[in-house]
């Protein structure tokens, strides 16, 4: 299985590996089906930009480091419900939220590194909620690398899963952190530090963030983690950067938006070339098949020899660049 941009979908060679659902989670197309041209444009209208497919090239590729889609969609639905509850002045759905935090924490403890499901694999109306789930996954991964205990991970995850909840009450970008802070703070079952994650997630070390422009040590470590996760998620899902490009971008913010230690912890837990990435190596073109020991040195199947090489064991082999789909045909 691999992920392709919807524009690169080829009806003749590719089948869906995962179902495509609409915003109500109705299955539009099941796994195993092919997508007719007319239907492709419908999916694009829904805001879907990526598809999971099987084809000759994807043979032997699995995406084990990616969260399973039904669970991911379940948690997105919980965040959507939370927004609705806040809009209607109902209490936060704590049972579902607690369960979601637990499932996300388990997911992160299971995997050495994670691959994000871009929010553009779901319809546009679910995107803001999917974003909050992805930010939580990334934050937990960073927390794990920093050696956080269970309680710290819980509080971090709660803050991240609700970091943009203020948007349920205000359209003003400058206001949403404080609005969110007040919503979370009003709930006694949630730690105050989680509320501060929402309050501070747009603050930066150099004091150029918002809403209070606090700086340096005043920006809580949890909030810095939420901030880096937020930046990476936006780079992947909104700017459509590839994971390696997104990591590069984050590195440039080191010690300006968040501390270098947090950037390093982030770097250790993120896969830069997920399985299925088409790459140009200094020894020829290939496709990433697995990520084993080192999240930045994957195993690559080299097309011209039809064999896999582990970059982690072959230090002289370099990835020169990520290739777009059409230039990297199997010959
Ligand atoms: Fe935000």
C-alpha of residue 226 to centroid of ligand 1, in Å:
9
Question: 213, 96, 209, 76: which is closest to 137 by C-alpha?
Answer: 76
Closest CA to 192 of 179, 202, 181, 176: 181
Find the 54 Cα to ligand 1 centroid distance in Å: 35
Distance from residue 85's CA to the centre of ligand 1 (Å):
19
Beta strands in the chain (DSSP E): 2-5, 15-16, 20-21, 27-29, 50-54, 278-281, 284-290, 299-302, 307-310, 319-322
- Whether residue 63 lies inside any domain: the answer is no
Do 190 and 286 fall within a single domain? no
Same domain? For 227 and 159 the reply is yes
C-alpha of residue 124 to centroid of ligand 1, in Å: 17
The alpha carbon of 210 and the centre of ligand 1 are apart by a number of angstroms equal to 10
Q: Are 63 and 274 in contact (CB under 8 A)?
A: yes
- Please state, in angstroms and rounded to a whole number, the distance separating the CA atoms of residues 4 and 15: 11
What does pTM read for this prediction? 0.92
Domain of residue 14: give its range.
2-58
Over residues 193-199, the mean pLDDT reads 98
Q: How many Å lie between the centroid of ligand 1 and the Cα of residue 139?
A: 14
Report the separation in Å between the CA atom of 41 and the middle of ligand 1, taken as the mean of its atom positions: 31
Would you say residue 116 has pLDDT above 90?
no
- Encoding tokens for residue 112? 């050495």
Ligand 1 mean position, distance from CA 138 (Å): 15
245/293 same-domain check:
no
Residue 310 reports pLDDT greater than 60: yes
- Give me ligand 1 centre to Cα 162, in Å: 10
Q: Do 186 and 297 share a domain, yes or no? A: no
Residue 188 and residue 106 share a domain: yes
Is residue 64 one of the residues assigned to a domain? no
Cα of 144 to ligand 1 centre, how many Å? Answer: 23
Measured in angstroms, how far is the CA atom of residue 158 from the centroid of ligand 1? Answer: 15
Q: How many angstroms is it from 164 CA to the middle of ligand 1?
A: 5
Percentage of residues of the chain with pLDDT beyond 70: 98
Ligand 1 centre distance from Cα of residue 60 (Å): 38
267 alpha carbon – ligand 1 mean position (Å): 22
Are 89 and 11 within one domain?
Answer: no
For residue range 259-302, what is the model confidence (pLDDT) as tens digits? 999 999 999 999 999 999 999 999 999 999 999 889 999 999 99
Between the two ends of the chain, the Cα-to-Cα distance in Å is 20
Domain boundary (230, 247, 269) is at: 269
- Asked whether residue 146 falls in the same domain as residue 265, the answer is yes
Residue 112 pLDDT > 80, yes or no?
Answer: yes
For the stretch 82-105, pLDDT in tens is 999 999 999 999 999 999 999 999
Which pLDDT value is given to residue 49?
87
Tell me the CATH number at 22.
3.90.105.10
Q: What is the pLDDT of residues 207-252, one digit of tens each?
A: 999 999 999 999 999 999 999 999 999 999 999 898 999 999 999 9
CATH number at residue 96: 1.10.3210.10
Q: Are residues 237 and 297 in the same domain?
A: no
The neighbour count for residue 251, using CB atoms within 10 Å, is 13
Distance 121 CA to ligand 1 centre (A): 21
Which residues are CB-neighbours of 195 under 8 A, at least 6 positions away? Answer: 159, 180, 181, 182, 184, 185
- Condensed to tens digits (0 to 9), the pLDDT of residues 163-183 reads 999 999 999 999 999 999 999
In a domain, 259, yes or no: yes
Non-local CB neighbours of 28 within 8 Å, separated by 6+ positions: 19, 20, 21, 22, 39, 42, 43
Based on the fold, state whether residues 136 and 233 are members of the same structural domain: yes
Structure confidence by residue, pLDDT tens digits, 135-157: 999 999 999 999 999 999 999 99
Count up the domains in the chain and report the number.
3
pLDDT for 331 equals: 44
List pLDDT tens digits, range 20-67.
Answer: 988 888 898 999 999 998 889 989 988 888 899 999 999 889 888 888
Give the chain's mean pLDDT. 93
Q: Is residue 119 part of a domain?
A: yes
Whether 110 and 36 share a structural domain: no
CA of residue 171 relative to chain centroid, distance: 24
Cα(163) to centroid(ligand 1), Å: 6
From the CA of 317, how far away is ligand 1's center (Å)? 40
CA distance 139 to 108: 10
């Amino acid at each position: 299985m691999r992920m392709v941009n919807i524009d690169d979908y080829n009806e003749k060679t590719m089948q869906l590996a995962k179902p495509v659902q609409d915003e109500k989670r109705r299955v539009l197309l099941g796994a195993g089906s092919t997508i007719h041209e007319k239907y492709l444009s419908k999916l694009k209208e829904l805001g879907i930009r990526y598809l999971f497919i099987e084809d000759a090239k994807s043979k032997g590729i699995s995406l084990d480091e990616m969260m399973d889609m039904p669970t991911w969609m379940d948690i997105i639905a919980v965040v959507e419900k939370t927004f609705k509850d806040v809009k209607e002045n109902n209490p936060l759905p704590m049972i579902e939220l607690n369960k979601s935090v637990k499932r996300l924490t388990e997911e992160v403890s299971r995997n050495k590194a994670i691959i994000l499901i871009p929010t553009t694999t779901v319809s546009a109306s679910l995107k803001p909620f999917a974003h909050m789930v992805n930010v939580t996954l990334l934050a937990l991964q960073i927390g794990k690398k920093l050696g956080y205990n269970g309680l710290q991970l819980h509080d971090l995850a709660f803050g991240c899963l609700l970091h943009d909840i203020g948007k349920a009450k205000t359209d003003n970008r400058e206001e949403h952190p404080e609005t969110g802070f007040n919503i979370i703070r009003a709930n006694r079952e949630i730690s105050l530090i989680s509320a501060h994650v929402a309050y501070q997630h747009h603050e930066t070390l150099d004091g150029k963030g918002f809403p209070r422009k606090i700086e340096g040590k005043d920006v809580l470590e949890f909030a810095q983690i939420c901030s880096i996760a937020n930046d990476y998620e936006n780079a992947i899902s909104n700017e459509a950067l590839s994971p390696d490009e997104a990591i590069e971008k984050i590195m440039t913010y080191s010690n300006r938006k968040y501390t270098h230690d947090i950037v390093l912890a982030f770097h250790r837990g993120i896969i830069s070339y997920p399985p299925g990435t088409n790459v140009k190596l200094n020894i020829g073109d290939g496709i990433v098949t697995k990520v084993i020991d080192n999240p930045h040195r994957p195993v690559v199947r080299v097309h011209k020899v039809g064999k896999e090489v582990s970059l982690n064991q072959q230090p002289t082999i370099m990835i020169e660049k990520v290739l777009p789909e059409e230039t990297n045909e199997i010959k």
